[in-house]
Amino acid sequence: MGGGLGSYFSLRLRPGSGSGDGEAILEAEFPKSQGYLGGTKYFTVPGFSSKSRSSVAVTLVKQGERLEVLLNKAKVFQSDKAVPAGLLFDQLSFNQGGTFNPNDRMFVSNVTILKK
């Protein structure tokens, strides 16, 4: 995912096939800071499928070096030393990958970025 881009953090969601559970994929790399989150981690997202009209509430909480990832209010990842404390995120993007059926519908809403 990073492809020589330096530090990055990525969270991807993929609905399950039919009525199967979906998947979340967390990737990160901080090449100039050793000992932090790196590589790829996979999580199941129950009830998120291509068959149902379901949604996923995603919450990312970064406090200092600590990172929490919650999907539908259930904590799926937590690390006290995940992201360098001084790292400032300078980009947020939403991408749709793969083939797109004209009948598919995706909605992104209620995006809030807070600094505490």
pLDDT along the chain (116 residues), means of 10: 68 85 89 89 85 79 90 89 85 73 71 72
pLDDT of amino acid 2: 45
pLDDT of amino acid 21: 87
pTM, to two decimals: 0.77
Give the residue extent of every domain in the chain: 8-79
Answer whether 63's CB lies under 8 Å from 51's CB.
Answer: no
Measured CA to CA, the distance from residue 48 to residue 38 in angstroms comes to 26
Answer whether 30's CB lies under 8 Å from 13's CB.
Answer: no
